[in-house]
Amino acid sequence: MLNGVSVFLIGMMGVGKTTIGQLLAKQLDYEFLDVDQFIEQATGQTVATIFAESGEGIFRQLETATLSQVSARLRRVVATGGGIVMAPQNWSYLRDGVIVWLDVPVEQLQKRLSDDTTRPLLQNQDLTARLTQLSADRRSRYAQADIHIQVMPNETPEQVTARVIDAIAQECEKKRQIDASLQRLNQEMPFQTNS
């Protein structure tokens, strides 16, 4: 269905990109990669430590460097960090694959993240206000994804994964039809040069 093209999962922190990414990779028989985990393994530091000691700018550079390396590889499901969409350069790498936006309402994210102390962008802040701000800042970027999956409050990760696979199949079929139409047009009216 995908012919080896990789899948990039984008969305806010706490939407389930890692969980759904692992399930999706298994279903597609793809390799799974979490950008944050990759950075932590490569640097020997947690994301929180990188933010605290080097700053968000350095972390974003590491994120872009990681994405540039993994985007060229085929047959991968990649869970990205929530802010990866904010750097225009990252879109050139994301466009190498199918981009899936996992969208969860802020109220639901607040419940999921209320006890999470590992997220640097949420430390020492009003959680709901911060999530609302981050969501508002990023929403238009997330909306550039090829596929938008609105995650329902009671959906299991397996149900979301099944919906992602269905959406990818539909997107691939649309692309196949467009390619077939273009091929037909080229056969009916071949490009001619005036000599």
pLDDT (tens digit per residue) in 37-91? 999 999 999 888 888 888 888 999 999 999 999 888 889 999 998 899 999 999 9
Lowest mean pLDDT among 17-26, 104-113, 162-171: 104-113
pLDDT of the residue at 192: 63
Split at pLDDT 50, 70, 90, the class of 165 is: very high
pLDDT reading at 149 higher than 60 = yes
Sign of the alpha-carbon torsion through 81, 84, 90, 96 = positive
Residues ≥6 apart with Cβ < 8 Å to 164: 20, 24, 100, 102, 147, 149
Q: Which residue has the higher pLDDT, 39 or 191?
A: 39
**Average pLDDT value for residue range 5-24:** 94
Split at pLDDT 50, 70, 90, the class of 116 is: low
Joined together, the tokens standing for residue 67 give: 């994405």
**Average pLDDT value for residue range 163-182:** 86
Q: Is residue 163 within 8 Å of residue 141, measured between CB atoms?
A: no
pLDDT of the residue at 182: 80
pLDDT reading at 120 higher than 80 = no
Q: Which residue has the higher pLDDT, 58 or 182?
A: 58
pLDDT of the residue at 181: 80
Q: Is residue 116 within 8 Å of residue 46, measured between CB atoms?
A: no
* Nearest-angstrom CA–CA distance, 160 and 158: 5
Adjacency order of strands within the sheet including 147-150: 31-34, 76-79, 7-10, 98-103, 147-150
* Nearest-angstrom CA–CA distance, 47 and 119: 8
pLDDT reading at 125 higher than 80 = no
Lowest mean pLDDT among 88-97, 157-166, 177-186: 177-186
Q: Which residue has the higher pLDDT, 123 or 44?
A: 44
Counting Cα atoms < 13 Å in the Cβ hemisphere of 96 gives 19
pLDDT, averaged across the chain: 87
Q: Is residue 165 within 8 Å of residue 2, measured between CB atoms?
A: no
pLDDT reading at 119 higher than 80 = no
